[in-house]
């Protein structure tokens, strides 16, 4: 059996990184890359996936991403998923172009759109992250996280200019609009 793994939140400037692993027990119709599905469809599929799979979801907060680096956090999340789901499967497949140096992990570009287990993981990661950003939005009203989920929209960058970064923001992610250098460079601790 296959465990599909995918992440949500690699690129935002605020909020957690969320990585999910899914081993399907029963077939689920309508699975696809979470970015290709409407929010309503993702929410419906989320509940079906939870009921019809063995799964594990890992959240890594912005402070840890700043301290350890994004690659380190991704790798640790994947290792936690493997450890939690290894009794349910014999193969692990990650969406993307790297296996993060993990011997038993394979990778495939666009797996989230072509492999049902990875599609399911994509949906669990995206819905879990979106729900988190919606939940914290009332505590950080000036940033309107419910609208952009922490991504670097023009309105979000303008809010950072006005209010500075919150404890949900990634300080290691540099913004050209704020005159910061090393745009998009994160530490790698392999």
Task: Compute the average pLDDT of residues 59-63.
Answer: 98
- The lowest-confidence range among 48-62, 116-130, 164-178 is 164-178
Task: Give the pLDDT confidence of 134-167 residue by residue, as tens digits.
Answer: 999 999 999 999 999 999 999 999 999 999 999 9
Instruction: Give pTM, 2 decimals.
Output: 0.92
Q: Which tokens in the block code for residue 182?
A: 């090393």
CATH number at 2-136? 3.30.420.10
Residue 28, CB half-sphere, CA atoms under 13 Å: how many? 27
End-to-end, the C-alpha distance of the chain in Å comes to 29
- DSSP SS3 for 107: strand
29 is in an annotated binding site: no
7 is in an annotated binding site: yes
Task: Give the pLDDT confidence of 103-126 residue by residue, as tens digits.
Answer: 999 999 999 999 999 999 999 999
6 is in an annotated binding site: yes
Burial (CB < 10 A; 0-12, 13-18, 19+), residue 2, is middle
């Amino acid at each position: 059996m296959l465990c599909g793994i995918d992440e949500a939140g690699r690129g935002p400037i605020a909020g957690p990184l969320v990585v999910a692993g899914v081993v399907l027990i029963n077939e689920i119709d309508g699975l696809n890359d979470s970015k290709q599905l409407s929010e309503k469809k993702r929410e419906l599929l989320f509940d079906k996936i939870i009921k019809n799979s063995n799964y594990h979801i890992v959240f890594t907060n912005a402070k840890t991403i700043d301290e350890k680096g994004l690659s380190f956090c991704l790798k640790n999340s994947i290792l936690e998923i493997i450890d939690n789901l290894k009794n349910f499967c014999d193969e692990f497949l990650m969406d993307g172009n790297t296996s993060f140096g993990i011997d038993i992990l394979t990778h495939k570009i666009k797996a989230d759109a072509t492999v049902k287990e990875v599609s399911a993981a994509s949906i669990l990661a995206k819905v879990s992250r979106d729900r988190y950003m919606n939940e914290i939005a009332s505590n950080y009203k000036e940033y309107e996280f419910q609208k952009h989920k922490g991504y670097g929209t023009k309105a979000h960058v303008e809010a950072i200019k006005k209010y500075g970064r919150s404890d949900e923001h990634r300080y290691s992610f540099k913004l050209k609009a704020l005159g910061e250098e090393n745009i998009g460079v994160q530490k790698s601790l392999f």
